Amino acid sequence: MANRDLLPRGFVVGLGSLLWLSLSMAEVSAQAQKSPPPRATAPAPAVTSGTAPANAATGEGRDASENDLVARAGAAGLSVGEVRAMIAQMSPRDLAAVEKDPRLLAQAVRSLLANQLVLKEALTKKWDQQPAIAAQLERVRQETIVETYLRSVSQPPEGYPGDAEVESTYEANKTGFLVPRQFQLSQIVVLQAQDADKATEEKARKKLDEIKKSLKEPAANFAAIATRDSDDPEGAAKRGDLGWLREDQIRPEIRSQIFGLAVNAVSEPVRLEDGWHILKLIDTKAAYTRPLAEVRDVLLQRLRDDRQNANRRRVIAKIVDETPMTINEIALSKLIEPAAKPSSK
């Protein structure tokens, strides 16, 4: 990889797994196919016919193009409108991933169609009418009613928070918006496992010496040498470029080398678990605090979420206070005794 072994252990970089994306968008789409206000009735099954939902089929409130199918699997199908609704409700992370790689959307659509086909088969076999499944569906229905009701009655006022509260929250949490110093780096990798045999070790050392010699030649081109000699295929394809890395994203062994480098200088080889790494410092950015204008939307949403959670707790407390609970803890403890006690056999 381009940033091979430079990141500290436990540091995760990426947009999320493809499987997570497909599953999350499948859930979003299932919600998008329901009517906007949730009703206190059992949820309708997902569309399994080759046509769009009833309101789409009549064309009510939609252009004809919204009803055109963009995917079909037997009798199951997804219309343009349904996919657009799914995209509109995607999280920013999912949306960014799809914009970067549109193939992810096709995979999500395939997942949704597969769900429709499985649903059709399950309904044909009356799976939803089994007592255990019916009870589980009822629990989900009740939980949905409770969750959507609490969400609706705990929403903060439209104008909350005001500018003054956003600004005071920013000042109180300013250190949390500090962006560490950043480094733009390139690297050349010479692979050598720590348990390599003597012949492999000598071969790696010889290659490392040749690279060091090439880098010391007049007008040496680090990018060209990385492309030619680096054992990291992905990094070589990028001419050794690692891009910008924050100080806290860089392994301590690497940091200790690049901190003393001037811009465009090359480090001594650094030994890591997988082999030798030679770094070139392309540029640096000083640490800075993100301005209020840059983080305002994040702060505003955080304050609204905090207020909504507080409102939610107050609503629940009020309802519980108005209807006190009585719990027979002795009877409850007896329910778990057989499972807790070892078998006498």
Gyration radius from the chain CA atoms: 29
**Calpha distance 170→164 (Å, rounded):** 10
Measured over the CA atoms of residue 310, residue 311, residue 312 and residue 318, the dihedral's sign is positive
The tens place of each residue's pLDDT in the chain, 345 residues long, gives 445 555 443 332 332 333 333 334 434 334 434 434 333 333 333 333 333 343 433 344 445 566 788 899 888 888 999 899 889 888 888 999 999 998 999 999 999 899 999 999 999 999 999 999 999 999 999 999 999 999 999 999 999 999 999 999 999 999 999 999 999 999 999 999 989 999 999 999 999 999 999 999 999 999 999 999 999 999 999 999 999 999 999 999 999 999 989 999 999 999 999 999 999 999 999 999 999 999 999 999 999 999 999 999 999 999 999 998 999 999 988 888 765 555 555
**Calpha distance 215→225 (Å, rounded):** 8
pTM check: above 0.75 = no
Among 130, 163, 156, 191, residue whose Cα is nearest residue 1: 191
Per the CB < 8 A criterion, the answer to whether 23 and 111 are in contact is yes
Q: Which helix (H) or strand (E) holds 56?
A: helix 54-57
**Calpha distance 281→302 (Å, rounded):** 37
What are the chain's domains? 18-124 (no CATH), 177-289 (3.10.50.40)
**Calpha distance 63→47 (Å, rounded):** 19
**Calpha distance 109→115 (Å, rounded):** 10
Q: Which helix (H) or strand (E) holds 60?
A: none
Angle, helices 18-32/80-88, rounded to nearest 10 degrees: 110
Burial classification of residue 263, based on how many CB atoms lie within 10 Å of its CB (0-12 exposed, 13-18 middle, 19 or more buried):
exposed
Per the CB < 8 A criterion, the answer to whether 57 and 51 are in contact is yes
